[in-house]
Amino acid sequence: MSRLHSLLSCTSGRNTTTVKQDDFDSEERKSWINYVPLCFLVFFMVAPHPSLLIILINYHLRTLHAPITFIIHLLITYTLTFLAFSSLIVCLARDPGPTCVDDSDEDSDGQHVGLTEALMSMEGDNDFTRFCRKCWVPKPDRAHHCSICNRCVLKMDHHCPWLGGKCIGFRTYPAFVHFLACITALSAYIATISVSAFWWSFNHSFLVLVITPLHELFLATFSVCITLVVGSFLVYHIHLITTNQTTVESLSPFLLLRHIPPLPVSMKLSDPPEEEELSYSQRKAVRKAHKSLRMYDVGWRRNWAQVFGWSKPRGWISRLIIGGSGKGDGRSFPRNPRSQEMLSQLAERLEKEA
């Protein structure tokens, strides 16, 4: 009954332009333990600042007598900290991307889906081609069901336990990448300050306080580790944006099976075929095709514009401060012009390997 109620709420026409309450109700209630990683994340963001202030005051003010340099370092570090917390708050407070909205939503295309259509399969590439079998809501292209949150998310990237057990989706992905970029830049900047100060203290040990090199060594080690760890995630997501992929799409090659042309009935496969129905050689062919087939890759400029583009005047300000939200409605995406040809080749390969 709860699933039917969620489906009815999605197909009804209530006069609201925001996310339905039923969409939030479909998400599992989280216990306090889900927020423990988030507390550790905030702690890791705040913990280095006492040591940073000690280094800046003892090294730049009391030792080098360079107040201008002190102020510059202070402004840069706390500006990056503010930007990191801004995008973190957006990731926590904003819904990642509900698939259940009214047709009065300003981002929707104005189409209304009825209950009859919901219970039937429908045609079309970029429309509501299918409904989720678990939460019974429309499931557009690139939307996925999160088994942990018990809901579907538009253009779902991944489920992040570090953000209070929330999913990263269409409406929060730019803020998430913005957060990674700010944390990487902040940790790299602090690492530069700490390493240079520690090297100076190592060569002038009689001119500094004994406790200062300890803070410099701690902060240098901590910030270098954070830079390497978070920076690697940032590089990975830069690659995903450039090739117009999500983490789910990048790590799940068999999602291509949803888009291949119908296979011959003689193969006795589902439509679309399931991974467990394929032979070893067929699965190998799908994995090989996944390495070169990018369903939504329309060129790196347009790929980046889909994530960080804006349509309103001065939209770059929100992108710079909080990362903002993705451009478009999150339900339809232009496809790679060569994708259909490559999918046909994959279908022929699967038929040959049968």
Task: Please name every residue paired with 168 in a beta bridge, in sequence order, or none if there are none.
Answer: 158
- Beta bridge mates, 189: none
List of residues 6+ apart from 241 with CB closer than 8 A? 177, 303, 304, 307
Options 149, 160, 167, 182, the catalytic residue: 160
Alpha helices in 204-314 (DSSP H): 211-242, 247-251, 280-292, 300-308
Length of the chain, in residues:
354
Q: Are strands 144-146 and 151-153 parallel, antiparallel or unpaired?
A: antiparallel
Closest CA to 331 of 152, 119, 91: 152
Look up 91 and say whether it is catalytic: no
Please confirm whether the linkage preceding 272 is cis (ω < 30° from 0).
yes
Give the three-class secondary structure for 65: coil
- Retrieve residue 324's tokens: 């903002």
Catalytic residues: 160
